Structure 1
């Protein structure tokens, strides 16, 4: 009956005390009987949680009580069961690993594109300035195989840390185009878009909220297949319900 609330959220923000936050946050999540994963690093927070709606929202409210995390935005979906086996809170070097320490999204983002504008651009085949638009999938190859935007560029990466090298090899193919990077929930796009701008590409956007936010605001237009998610649901459809196996 889809009474389990699933949320994903991230925020790039300096958290020099990330290691000290781990144990209290784990204790609170367990008290609320939540399951999922929270990653903490000096560059920010990344989380995937599931449980009773009031419990999930209570933890998010607790996080936002920290002024540094007040801007944390969550993407929601629903399921019949909790798709995680346990509750884990980890302290990591990066909340999404790229091995490119010069890229610091907390110091300034690349321009973000909302879902409805991307749908309109894809409908037209160009952006508002008349430039051709390409979507660049920043996910791993096995995720792309579940579903992707029609005609998306896919560099068949095995892990996200390969992105800077893949960009160097394929940079010339992106010149003169409007490039919209996308991923599941937006976190990889944050870094990918900055790397592309660092490489000299001028017309680079990141899809705000990733595929999940696109499904929520624009439906499944121009997307083929389902969106892989890192939990027991495996994938969700454009209606954000677990995909049929």
Structure 2
């Protein structure tokens, strides 16, 4: 497999999105990359595919901007690019929650790395002996492709439904440690901040999402595949395109 696929994001204020769009569009086309870059006032969200050389070049280009110097892309391989074209789009939010007071740049919720989470799930409790609840913040059709064992999900169609669904279940998390998770980390980061804001005491986001967990911990405690928003449709725990095709 010769195509490198990356995904990454950063919550950071972007006041020059038009200029950034033009510059990134030009560089991505020059490198013959395919995929999507989303630019919003709250930050950047990147999904790109191309040759090893081209991916290394665009990551270096992005990191040359001090705002993106710490981007840490998650990688997977495929035989063909899972995108048909290259688009840089301007959005109101890089992930739509419709809660403008949730600003991850102003302060993240605590995160748990994949290796630590695997230890918690192996034991059935966190380091302090509290039960661990895995909370899936993804949409219903994503959850259908695969999720963590015994994970809670609210059967949502779009992420903006999450706050209302959560509100009806706040007592469920008393005395427990909650780990929010999603595909690559962006939704579970916003969700974790919201959960802290509404009074859930012990909340973590899974650092890097399911894809980083697959990379560092394999498929332990996970059942099925991980839905991805490109033509692969899903990847297995070894980060290869899933054998079966999904149908929404």
Unpaired runs of 5+ residues, structure 1, are none
| Structure 1 match to 2:214 | 215
DSSP 3-state at the match of 1:128: coil
1:81-132 superposed Cα distances (whole Å, 9 cap, x missing partner): 0010000000111000100000000011000100011000001110011110
Tell me how many residue pairs correspond in the alignment.
244
Match of 1:88 in 2: 87
Q: CA deviation at 1:19?
A: 2.6
Shift of 1:205: 0.1
Partner of 1:187: 186
- Give the deviation of 1:170 after TM superposition: 1.2
Partner of 2:236: 237
Task: Provide the residue aligned with 2:18 in structure 1.
Answer: 19
SS of the residue corresponding to residue 145 of structure 1 reads helix
TM-score computed with the length of structure 2 as normaliser? 0.97
The aligned runs of 1:45-194 (5 Å cut-off) are 45-194=44-193
Contact 1:19-1:41 at 8 Å conserved across structures: no
Paired position in structure 2 for 1:38: 37
Q: Please give the alpha-carbon distance, in whole angstroms, between the structure 2 residues aligned to 1:55 and 1:143.
A: 29
Q: Which deviates the most, 166-175 or 200-209?
A: 166-175
C-alpha separation in 2, matches of 1:94 and 1:20: 18
1:20 to partner: Cα distance: 2.2
Task: Compute the displacement of 1:203 (Å).
Answer: 0.5
Per-residue CA deviation, residues 11-40 of structure 1 (Å, 9 max, x unaligned), is 001111123211111111011000000000
**Unaligned 5+ runs, structure 2:** none
Contact 1:19 1:40 in 2 (8 A): no
Q: Aligned partners of 1:80, 1:68: CA distance in 2, in Å?
A: 32
SS in 1 for 2:168: helix
- Structure 1's consecutive aligned runs of 4 or more residues displaced over 4 angstroms after TM superposition are none
User: Residue in 1 aligned with 2:202?
Assistant: 203
What is the rounded CA distance, in whole Å, between the counterparts of 1:44 and 1:4 in structure 2? 26
Question: RMSD over aligned Cα, in angstroms?
Answer: 0.6
